[in-house]
Structure 1
Amino acid sequence: MGAAITTRDLGPVLHRPRRRRFNHLPYALITPASLAMFGILAFPLGMLVWLSLQHYGLRELIAHQGTWVGLDNFRVTIADPLFQQVVVRSLLFTVANVALTIIFSTLIALLMLKVSRPVRTILMGGLIFVWATPVIVAIDIWQWMFDYEFGVINYLLTQLHVGNFIHHNWFDDPLQGFIVITVVTVWGAIPFVTITLFAALLQVPDDVLEAASIDGARPWQIFWNVTAPILKPIFLIVTSLSTIWDFGIFNQVYVLLNQRPSSDYFVMAVYSYRESFGVTQYGLGAAIAVVMVLILIVVTFFYVRQTLQTAEIT
């Protein structure tokens, strides 16, 4: 008589979910750099805010003692019609520069994907050379090129019969002057943005582009619907950096105008410098600088939030 062997269906084995262990290593690695950055930035920013709350002129500078005025410097600054014009001018200037930088950099980066390796190497070398050129040296070269007496730009435009540009001073008209400043600024910003976008374009999967091409998409459709969404985090980063750099521009305006810019050319940094060192109102100059920092924080907060949201989605 055989023994009957019975088995019980135990059902699916239930596993207790493991508690996710907190990894301290990334935070330990980033802490020294974070503390160093905080130490470098905290003191000058703190002194800037402290100075903006005081009346600090030439007499106070000699005495090393300012007079506490609280928020009066901010009230005077914000109520000043010139300050309001400077803010609007700076914002418009920043938008134009950032847009032109991103557009031209994207076109050059896409071009570098299509050209041969030797041509790409030459383009890359030229971009690195422009980026490595000291800012003051580059501005001096552009200043000579747009010189109203010996400038090569005036000579070429005259020879091409665009108009009579002999002894034409580009900076007599603020609109023309800002066009020149924009050219110089965008020219100096393109290399970094182009190289960054080119490196990102190399990471776009070829099979995705080939699939879109097989489906009949045109090149501009492939870029707009396939490439651009993939590069959105990179576009947000370079746009944020370009906004910070262009909103705080100083050298291009100050040097091109021979260290004597009129009020028509005041942007935030130049206006703050003029109030601080031109009329020796260091408290007002510091207040303008603080407002400038606050505007940048508000603007860049949007880009940082968009970048984090994009990272969470991907």
Structure 2
Amino acid sequence: MSAPTTDRPPEASPPGATAGSAAGGDSGVVPPPVRQRRRPDPGHGRGILPYALVLPALLAIAAVYFYPLFRTVVMSFQDYRRRHLWSGDAPDWVGFDQFTNIFSDSHFWGVTLKTVVFMVVCVVLTMSLGLLIALIMQRMSAWVRLLVTFALITAWAMPVIVATSIFRWLSDSEYGLFNNLLSRIPGLDFRGHNWFLETWQGFTVIAAVVVWGAIPFVAVTLYAALTQVPKELVEAARLDGAGPLGIFTNVVFPVIKPVFQLVATLSVIWDFNVFVQIFLMRGNNVEPQYEVLGIYSFQLAFQSASFSQGTAVALVAVLLLSGVAVYYLRQLMRRGEVE
């Protein structure tokens, strides 16, 4: 006689269980499938809006820089004089005659050499003194370093016209502080001394103005770079027996070298284009012995009324600085790739 059977429905397997688990197997519960989020396309949604946002800046740069540069190039191949400025007549095209005239002038080459020498002296003094101040700032206490930084930033924020006027008063032949202090030294008599009778003395005063105004930026920037030097490397070099000079040349300077090169390149560009300091120190009437390329271009354009020759000299100065500008941009790009 057979046992009675019951019509009980089979127990339902838990959600996600496999057939083996339903049969009493040891396999785990299968997690529900994960829905992967779709990554947005980098180019999706990029319409004209980004270009519209940068368009005002591009127009401003073109108006301030590119259009004057374009006009400089055009005028250097013309014979543009004062009568064309007032009459509105189109000047004659003369080709490379303006460049031929200035390249055949010995005064132009003397001015160019003087500009390069003045720039090199100013850059070397600026970078040396700026680096020295940055190294000294590392050894200062916090509050003294704060005061020095405030003084540097204050000097940097001073307008060039004000700084030049102060140095012009300091070097005055009658009431200048330089003459007064030097005359107090036994054996020296600088009463009524004119610093600008001798060209090298005059350029010394002008270089002092330029270097004094550039040191704050260099010192603060290099100090910021020095704070990035790992202290562990310095301590390891000191334990290995390296002296202060060896630590600086082999440990510290390689770390700050990219920043040092960028600041030095900017100093070359700024000191090559010195104009205001010389123009104001000589009372808006610069003698030929104090002419650099910027002053020489201005004198040709506005005193000799030869705008084309002045723009030709300015274009030569731009071409001379183009190599420095390209080097500066390469350093910026290289540093960006490293970071």
Counterpart AA for 1:40: V
Q: How many Å separate the matches in 2 of 1:231 and 1:252?
A: 30
Query: Which deviates further from its counterpart, 206-215 or 269-278?
Result: 206-215
What is the aligned counterpart of 1:52 among 48, 51, 76?
Answer: 76
The structure carrying a bigger helix percent of its residues is 1
**Contact map agreement 1:274 1:285 (CA 8 A) in 2:** yes
Identity of aligned residues (%): 40
Deviation at 1:35, TM superposition (A): 6.2
**Contact map agreement 1:233 1:311 (CA 8 A) in 2:** no
1:43 is aligned to 2:67: yes
Deviation at 1:201, TM superposition (A): 1.0
Query: 1:235 corresponds to which residue?
Result: 260
Query: 1:70 corresponds to which residue?
Result: 95
Q: How many Å separate the matches in 2 of 1:160 and 1:188?
A: 28
Counterpart AA for 1:59: R
Q: How many Å separate the matches in 2 of 1:189 and 1:53?
A: 36
Counterpart AA for 1:284: Q
Q: How many Å separate the matches in 2 of 1:200 and 1:22?
A: 35
Counterpart AA for 1:58: R
Deviation at 1:301, TM superposition (A): 2.7
What is the aligned counterpart of 1:176 among 187, 201, 226?
Answer: 201
Query: 1:140 corresponds to which residue?
Result: 165
Query: Which deviates further from its counterpart, 98-107 or 291-300?
Result: 291-300
DSSP-derived class of the 1:40 partner: helix
Query: 1:90 corresponds to which residue?
Result: 115
**Contact map agreement 1:73 1:284 (CA 8 A) in 2:** yes
Q: How many Å separate the matches in 1 of 2:143 and 2:120?
A: 35
Query: 1:249 corresponds to which residue?
Result: 274
Q: For structure 2, list consecutive stretches of 5 or more residues without a partner in the other structure.
A: 1-40
Query: 1:202 corresponds to which residue?
Result: 227
Query: Which deviates further from its counterpart, 40-49 or 108-117?
Result: 40-49
Deviation at 1:303, TM superposition (A): 4.3
Deviation at 1:271, TM superposition (A): 0.4
What is the aligned counterpart of 2:85 among 41, 45, 61?
Answer: 61
What is the aligned counterpart of 2:317 among 266, 286, 292?
Answer: 292
**Contact map agreement 2:262 2:331 (CA 8 A) in 1:** no
Q: How many Å separate the matches in 2 of 1:162 and 1:188?
A: 32
Deviation at 1:241, TM superposition (A): 0.7
DSSP-derived class of the 1:55 partner: coil
CA distance change for structure 1 residues 275 and 22 in 2, over 3 Å: closer, same or farther?
A: farther
Q: How many Å separate the matches in 1 of 2:43 and 2:304?
A: 54
For residues 24-62 of structure 1, the C-alpha deviation after alignment (integer angstroms, 9 at most, x for no partner) is 99xx69965566534532111101111111111111211
For residues 271-304 of structure 1, the C-alpha deviation after alignment (integer angstroms, 9 at most, x for no partner) is 0110111111111000000000000012333444
- What is the RMSD of the two structures over their aligned residues, measured on CA atoms? 2.1
For residues 183-217 of structure 1, the C-alpha deviation after alignment (integer angstroms, 9 at most, x for no partner) is 11100100111111111111111111111111111
Counterpart AA for 1:185: V
Query: Which deviates further from its counterpart, 231-240 or 37-46?
Result: 37-46
Q: How many Å separate the matches in 1 of 2:146 and 2:309?
A: 49
Counterpart AA for 1:187: W
What is the aligned counterpart of 2:301 among 276, 279, 294?
Answer: 276
Q: How many Å separate the matches in 2 of 1:163 and 1:64?
A: 59
Q: How many Å separate the matches in 2 of 1:310 and 1:139?
A: 35
CA distance change for structure 1 residues 23 and 95 in 2, over 3 Å: closer, same or farther?
A: farther
Query: 1:220 corresponds to which residue?
Result: 245
For residues 253-278 of structure 1, the C-alpha deviation after alignment (integer angstroms, 9 at most, x for no partner) is 11111111111100010001101111
DSSP-derived class of the 2:229 partner: coil
Question: Which of 1 and 2 has greater Rg?
Answer: 2
**Contact map agreement 2:126 2:215 (CA 8 A) in 1:** yes
Deviation at 1:161, TM superposition (A): 2.6
TM-score, with length taken from structure 1: 0.87
Query: 2:140 corresponds to which residue?
Result: 115
TM-score, with length taken from structure 2: 0.81
Query: 2:326 corresponds to which residue?
Result: 301
Q: How many Å separate the matches in 1 of 2:229 and 2:186?
A: 45
Larger relative contact order, structure 1 or 2 (CA cutoff 8 Å, min sep 6): 1
